[in-house]
Structure 1
């Protein structure tokens, strides 16, 4: 069964589980306007989640909630590339579900939390948060987040392929080029690249931060650009990262059908050894391994010419859940969050997919991580050689990512007349128009 079929089965099972009622005779919570009150009988809540975020652990928590509390959550599972538009449409029309599942704080770039989300700062479980910052805006917590951090970005590779051709994890750009040459000589595609535009952008979002060299430098550049005191091309490091990525196409790093092949197919290719590597993140590795338990995959931090410090790009965000103010079951959802903050429930989230729990006392099952993940984390984090991925700094302009910037990254190699500088000039126009329309500081 390929990855796409597995996701379909997961989505179907999710609907089946959440639609079913488990008569346990327990106290439920019934809705009463925006503030639900205690009452007998089952409670039905609505929710929406991206297809790629419909985690097995989340399903287990939903199933246990239905069985133990007679509270069911009907998750609408939406394809990733459609989610943002549907989310905005539902929120703007007042038809948002009781729960929105999304990465925090990325959600804040899609919808204004102060206008649309219920603050959760005073809930009991927030005192157990290790990193409330991922879901905080102006001192208020707006999300129930599962992880204190989503790990880091790096190269996922097929260990069996590397061993077959006696390849070692590269420490330099020259060594990576040699690996690519060996793979090409043996009919193996070096690095998988799908047409889903959020995948190639990982090269840049990690690269920009690594090239600038520190979070402080990233913040300084971001503040100047977003307040109209500078433009992207005032920082040559940005164009350097994009040009480095574009040169990889000339070197034969990627599959030739990158404009048409989908994400599920390239995952199949990686697992079967048709391709050797995929640039991603620890969460992507975990998702692949939960669907392909026999896959022999590890990670390494890819060497790049523009990073002289050998930094690791970390993901300062977390999958989480928010409550729209329009929900008629606010108290019921708050009760769910309180239950889910306990190890009895939250351990289930990490049972098959390890992570870094945001709640004290929860088992992240980190022993399930590939050995390289723990080694990389201890090496780089322990020595302070980390930098936050650039998307976190550029959160204000996140609505432009999927429709503008990421599309440019994907299309540029086929156009042949767009280098890093040209892409950034084009994106600068998008940002200027967007920030002017928002009447942001420095743009009015």
Structure 2
């Protein structure tokens, strides 16, 4: 009887404890809501690439709303329409408060002195790891970066598929094409491509740097082209990269419907094993694994013959945001950026999108092991190089509107690399003459 009384007493105590915890949690939640209600509601507008509408970013936006009563009204734009719509809004004086873009590449598309807010004196500046790579030429900071860098480039591949068919990582162009031929016999598309023109351009953007063979040669080429001393078509190495890219289509290694397939569907085909490989960069792996946690995706350096020095390309940009100089809500934007620089916000982004944070004390998340190993290997060998586009920022506005569409259509038109570069040179000459953005050598 005494034992029963003790059990009943313990149950009563347990009930009281549980009830107290529930009341405490409810009280804390109400306090959070009350704090939010007590603060004046603030709203800012933004433009966001569709491919970057990450779950982690949504969590950051939700946290702002709950804790600060700040709402971000994002307009999510299909990637292929983004630059055109952005320029239209800027020219019409209707730019949103914040714009999602690659940093520092954004400075080639938007004149920071004319349109962007100077963020050089914001409190989060001192927490950046490598601020010098993100500044404009005047030494000032006109952007809010999320990443220190965007990882590495390479052939993204379905590891389960390679293991199933006992396929080894190819080390030469011939071995790569042998893999492609074998995959076709198994009813699998070797190389996947999509209609978003920023995807196929990576073959050239990364390939040009590898074909030229060093960062010094990339910089030298860029200066001479921007000064008008040389033309793109003067560099046979560039034409060779385009010709190899087009040859992949001619040989049937690329999906025939690439002009209609979306980026999302392309990634899905990789995970299901309908296709085997994509030439891209490591952030694609994070995108895939957000959707399918069971996906086993790897990456290897392109083994193409034009990469004679076996160089690994690292995209020299950060996903980030810029603020409109004329925004009526600039103080709110600055408040948002300051909050977002803190680990409790940025950890949400990197948990969903593992990588290399721009800020100290931030957890980069569970970065793919192949990405880390490949990066460390080439870093030790001093064989890491930046993508060619990073040396040609003054002509950034021509990329998504003229040059990248040329790359997208090249296989269909069956033109040579030399023909494509000569065609683009005419557009470049016209642009440089009109804007007078000739490189001054400084």
TM above 0.5, yes or no, is yes
Distance 1:228 1:50 in 2: 33
**Residue of structure 2 equivalent to 1:412:** 410
**Residue of structure 2 equivalent to 1:24:** 34
Instruction: Give the Å deviation of 1:187.
Output: 0.9
Instruction: Give the Å deviation of 1:382.
Output: 2.6
Matches within 5 A, 1:38-437: 40-137=39-136, 138-365=138-365, 368-416=366-414, 418-437=415-434
Distance 1:344 1:264 in 2: 29
Give deviations 1:365-400, integer Å, cap 9, x for gaps.
1xx222211111111123211110011111111211
Distance 1:63 1:356 in 2: 23
Distance 2:241 2:97 in 1: 41
Does the CA contact (< 8 Å) of 2:79 and 2:196 recur in 1?
Answer: no
Distance 1:24 1:383 in 2: 56
Q: State the SS of the aligned residue for 2:264.
A: helix
Does the CA contact (< 8 Å) of 2:156 and 2:285 recur in 1?
Answer: yes
Instruction: Give the Å deviation of 1:86.
Output: 1.6
Instruction: Give the Å deviation of 1:308.
Output: 1.5
Structure 1 residues 337 and 27: alpha-carbon distance in aligned structure 2, compared to 1, 3 A threshold: farther
Give deviations 1:133-189, integer Å, cap 9, x for gaps.
343111000111011101111111111111111001111222212211210111111
Which range is displaced more, 48-57 or 310-319? 48-57
Structure 1 residues 27 and 123: alpha-carbon distance in aligned structure 2, compared to 1, 3 A threshold: farther
**Residue of structure 2 equivalent to 1:14:** none
Structure 1 residues 333 and 424: alpha-carbon distance in aligned structure 2, compared to 1, 3 A threshold: same
Structure 1 residues 97 and 403: alpha-carbon distance in aligned structure 2, compared to 1, 3 A threshold: closer
Q: Higher helix fraction: Structure 1 or Structure 2?
A: 2
Does the CA contact (< 8 Å) of 2:315 and 2:386 recur in 1?
Answer: yes
Q: State the SS of the aligned residue for 1:140.
A: coil
Gaps of 5+ in 2: 1-31
Q: State the SS of the aligned residue for 2:56.
A: helix
Distance 1:51 1:188 in 2: 28
Instruction: Give the Å deviation of 1:360.
Output: 0.8
Gaps of 5+ in 1: 1-21, 29-39
Instruction: Give the Å deviation of 1:442.
Output: 7.5
Instruction: Give the Å deviation of 1:249.
Output: 2.1
**Residue of structure 1 equivalent to 2:16:** none
Distance 1:285 1:442 in 2: 36
Does the CA contact (< 8 Å) of 1:162 and 1:168 recur in 2?
Answer: yes
Give deviations 1:328-348, integer Å, cap 9, x for gaps.
111111111111111111111
Does the CA contact (< 8 Å) of 1:50 and 1:78 recur in 2?
Answer: yes
Does the CA contact (< 8 Å) of 2:223 and 2:439 recur in 1?
Answer: no
**Please, what is the CA RMSD of the aligned residues?**
1.7
Distance 1:315 1:177 in 2: 25
Q: State the SS of the aligned residue for 2:351.
A: coil
**Residue of structure 2 equivalent to 1:34:** none
**Residue of structure 2 equivalent to 1:440:** 437
Aligned pair count reads 408
Give deviations 1:46-81, integer Å, cap 9, x for gaps.
111111111211111111111111112111111111
Structure 1 residues 182 and 334: alpha-carbon distance in aligned structure 2, compared to 1, 3 A threshold: same
Structure 1 residues 24 and 355: alpha-carbon distance in aligned structure 2, compared to 1, 3 A threshold: farther
Give deviations 1:70-125, integer Å, cap 9, x for gaps.
11211111111111122112222222222111111122122101111111111111
Does the CA contact (< 8 Å) of 1:135 and 1:144 recur in 2?
Answer: no
Distance 1:294 1:212 in 2: 38
Distance 1:440 1:47 in 2: 29
Distance 2:355 2:282 in 1: 9
Instruction: Give the Å deviation of 1:440.
Output: 2.9
Distance 1:363 1:280 in 2: 24
Which range is displaced more, 221-230 or 256-265? 256-265
Question: What is the TM-score with the length of structure 1 in the denominator?
Answer: 0.89
Instruction: Give the Å deviation of 1:350.
Output: 0.5
**Residue of structure 2 equivalent to 1:32:** none
Q: State the SS of the aligned residue for 1:270.
A: helix
Does the CA contact (< 8 Å) of 2:189 and 2:274 recur in 1?
Answer: yes
Structure 1 residues 223 and 52: alpha-carbon distance in aligned structure 2, compared to 1, 3 A threshold: same
Instruction: Give the Å deviation of 1:326.
Output: 1.5
Distance 2:293 2:439 in 1: 51
